[in-house]
């Protein structure tokens, strides 16, 4: 339990975040402020504003549930979905790249290969998470509870990997080994974001998640310094083997076409 508590304390360590903010260059500070404004004020604030506005219209004009659903759909199509693509997909990806510990001077071919492998691995890991969670939910005795617990644990490790992607310059396999060597620590580290995912609807938590994730990345420090090698479960063995098989088939097929 002490490992989980250490990871939980490190997930949003105020002193570490403040220290890194003071030492950060102008580009990095602007990236942090941009994430805070676009996610915390623009995206999340607008969601609460429209909820408040539609609730006021509903009570004032006695709108039916069907009319309220129609207004929510209009807001989603004209505002929420476009803003999600602009803020959380385009602006955030650029800002997160500026939060990296070092700036790459050039793009190498191996970078593309490693990024492709990472994308396939994450997709396979997510499929494994939801497949296991969906299967457990069918069991009548404690099935739904076990499903939610498993989802929270595996998403916590995934969010820890996201933070390591931006702060650790090692390969993907090395980053996965770091999590496997301290699984309880990294579970605690990614737990706040995992609970946020479990408790709030997607379109509500997306902005909060992105805002907190930037602080999560900045507070990442202790887990990089010490590793516990006594206990190392192979928690990523299945998605890694599946990814290797898919990549081999993909490269073989590409070589046959060329």
Is residue 236 over pLDDT 60?
A: yes
First-last CA distance in the chain: 54
Question: What is the tens place of the pLDDT at every residue in 23-53?
Answer: 777 777 788 788 888 887 888 888 889 888 9
pLDDT for residue 167 is more than 90: no
Segment 7-12 mean pLDDT: 86
Residue 242, domain extent: 2-257
| Residue written as token pair 């602080």 | 215
What percentage of the chain exceeds 70 in pLDDT? 87
Residues 106-138 pLDDT 10s: 434 446 677 788 888 999 999 998 888 888 877
Q: Which of 114, 228, 205, 116 lies closest to 159, judged by CA?
A: 205
Q: d(Cα 27, Cα 95) in Å, to the nearest integer?
A: 9
Cα separation, 252 vs 244, in Å, equals 12
- Give per-residue pLDDT as tens, 175-214: 898 899 889 999 999 999 999 887 777 777 777 888 888 8
Instruction: Tell me the two tokens of residue 258.
Output: 């060329």
Domain count, the chain: 1
Share of the chain above pLDDT 90, in %: 11
| DSSP element (H, E) containing 169 | none
Query: From the CB of residue 94, how many other CB atoms can be counted at a distance below 10 Å?
Result: 11
List of residues 6+ apart from 143 with CB closer than 8 A? 136, 137
Listed residue (194, 193, 210) closest to 91, CA to CA: 210
Q: What are the C-alpha distances in Å from 219 to residues 14, 193, 196, 206, 222?
A: 7, 14, 18, 20, 9
Distance CA 99, CA 95 (A): 7
pTM, to two decimals: 0.79
What pLDDT is stored for residue 106 in this prediction? 40
Q: How confident is the model at residue 85 (pLDDT cuts 50, 70, 90)?
A: confident
Cβ proximity of 204 and 156 under 8 Å: no
| Look-up of token digits 């492998």 | 117
CA gap 108, 106 in Å, rounded? 6
Position 225 scores a pLDDT of: 57
Q: What is the mean pLDDT of the chain?
A: 81
């Amino acid at each position: 339990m002490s490992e989980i508590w250490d990871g939980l304390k490190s997930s949003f360590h105020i002193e570490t975040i403040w220290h890194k903010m003071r030492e950060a260059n102008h580009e990095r500070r602007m990236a942090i402020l941009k994430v805070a404004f676009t996610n915390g004020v623009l995206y999340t604030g607008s969601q609460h504003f429209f909820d408040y506005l539609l609730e006021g219209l509903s009570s004032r004009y006695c709108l039916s549930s069907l009319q309220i659903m129609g207004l929510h759909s209009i807001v989603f199509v004209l505002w929420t979905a476009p803003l999600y693509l602009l803020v959380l997909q385009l602006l955030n990806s650029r800002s997160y790249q500026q939060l990296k510990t070092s700036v790459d001077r050039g793009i190498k071919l191996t970078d593309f290969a490693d990024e492709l492998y990472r994308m396939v691995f994450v997709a396979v890991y997510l499929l494994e998470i939801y497949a296991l969670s969906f299967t457990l939910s069918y069991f009548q005795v404690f099935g739904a509870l076990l499903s939610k617990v498993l989802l929270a644990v595996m998403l916590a490790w995934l969010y820890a990997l996201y933070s390591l992607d931006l702060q650790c310059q090692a390969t993907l396999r090395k980053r996965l080994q770091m999590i496997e060597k301290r699984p309880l620590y990294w579970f605690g580290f990614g737990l706040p974001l995992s609970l946020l995912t479990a408790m709030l609807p997607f379109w509500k938590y997306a902005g909060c998640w992105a805002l907190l994730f930037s602080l999560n990345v900045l507070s990442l420090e202790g887990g990089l310094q010490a590793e516990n090698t006594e206990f190392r479960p192979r928690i990523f063995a299945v998605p890694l083997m599946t990814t290797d098989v898919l990549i081999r088939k993909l490269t073989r097929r590409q070589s046959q076409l060329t």
